[in-house]
Amino acid sequence: MLNLVDIDAVLEHIDVNKLLDRIDVDKLLDRIDIDQLLGRVDIDALVGRVDVNAMVSKVDVEELVERTEIGALIADSTSGVAQRVLDSLRAQAVGLDQVSNAIVGRLLRHDPSTTPAGPPRFVR
Amino acid sequence: MRELEPEPSRLGHFAGPATRAAAYFVDMAISLGVFALVVGVTLFLLNLTLQTDLSQSSAPGWLWTTLLLLWEWLYFGGSWAASGKTAGMGLLGVRVVARDGAPLDPWRGILRAPYLLASFFTFGLGFVGIVIGREHRALQDVLAGSVVVYDWDARTARLRFLARRPRDAPAQETRVTEPRRPA
């Protein structure tokens, strides 16, 4: 019997929106047990599919530190003058290291892509 | 929103010549200062207790040289064996590790001190590798199987700098630009 009916033709005549308007969504949701539904979801597998590194890389940490209370917390914990002097001294030395490395690298034609940045345990 | 360009951490990267030279000069200042202080106090106490008039010229030069070399060995070798860094290296944020990045074997740390002396005996040629080498290894590094790496996180330091800056202060680009190395 069903073979004689053209289902597609019948569906074409149905106004789906009108049909949906007749559904009481709130009542439908009330009948759904969210806990039971969540119990069927493998959260670990779901979280495993999330690329946390990619998400974190999109966060502008520097902007966050500058604009939020996190900055104040960091400043409170490391606001010593000695720390400032130390950071400044080390940054200057590292800057000079980079200038030296750049000059030598250019003179000796070091290929940056084949020059290791550090020991394999620290830099992959 | 500005483009994201996080400060490279540099933690664990090979330390360059300027940082290592600065650390060395700090170490020499500290070790020579402590040696002079200990010698001065010792002579003072000896003169006080024995009622003598001893001075540095009272002892032969070779004795002072030997004592100084032993002290430098103890200072550098002991520091590298104990923690992989001297006071100067700690100040500049660098550390000696094995070539693969593992903590340096204490014996290698102790032996690295006389190897450092060997770098001087080669008229400074032993230090050339720090400047031109891909791994910035000096003669003492090659002989001891070590490398010197940054033990200091530049990115954390930058965040500290940003955190200390007043909120309404104009943004200042203080970072050192460096082409990002491929991971």
Domain presence at residue A123: no
CA dihedral angle for residue A20, residue A26, residue A31, residue A36, rounded to 10 degrees: 100
Residue-number span of the structural domain to which A82 is assigned: 7-114
Cβ contacts (< 8 Å) between A123 and chain B: which residues?
12-13, 181, 183
CA distance B143 to B80: 15
Residue B96, phi then psi, degrees to nearest 5: -90, 130
User: What total number of domains does chain A contain?
Assistant: 1
Residue B112: how many CB atoms within 10 A of its CB? 22
- Residue B72 · residue B24 · CB < 8 Å: no
Cβ contacts (< 8 Å) between B141 and chain A: which residues?
none
Type of residue at B87: A
Closest by Cβ to B160, choosing from A67, A74, A98: A74
For chain B, say whether A67 makes contact (Cβ under 8 Å).
yes
CB contact under 8 A, B162 and A71: yes
Closest by Cβ to A116, choosing from B18, B102, B134: B134
Domain presence at residue A104: yes
Residue B146, phi then psi, degrees to nearest 5: -125, 165
Best A69, A97, A121 member to test B by mutation, with max B CBs in 10 Å, is A97
The predicted structure's pLDDT at residue A71? 64
Taking one residue from A and the other from B, the number of pairs with CB-CB distance under 8 angstroms is 130
pTM of the model: 0.66
Domain presence at residue A62: yes
Alpha helices in chain A, H assignment, sequence order:
7-12, 16-21, 25-30, 34-39, 43-48, 52-57, 61-67, 69-77, 81-107
Domain presence at residue A119: no
Question: C-alpha distances in angstroms, B6 versus A59, A89, B126?
Answer: 10, 20, 36
Domain presence at residue A42: yes
Least confident of A17-26, B10-19, B40-49: A17-26
What ipTM score was computed for the predicted complex, to two decimals? 0.75
Domain presence at residue A2: no
Q: Grade residue A87 by pLDDT with cuts at 50, 70 and 90.
A: confident
Domain presence at residue A120: no
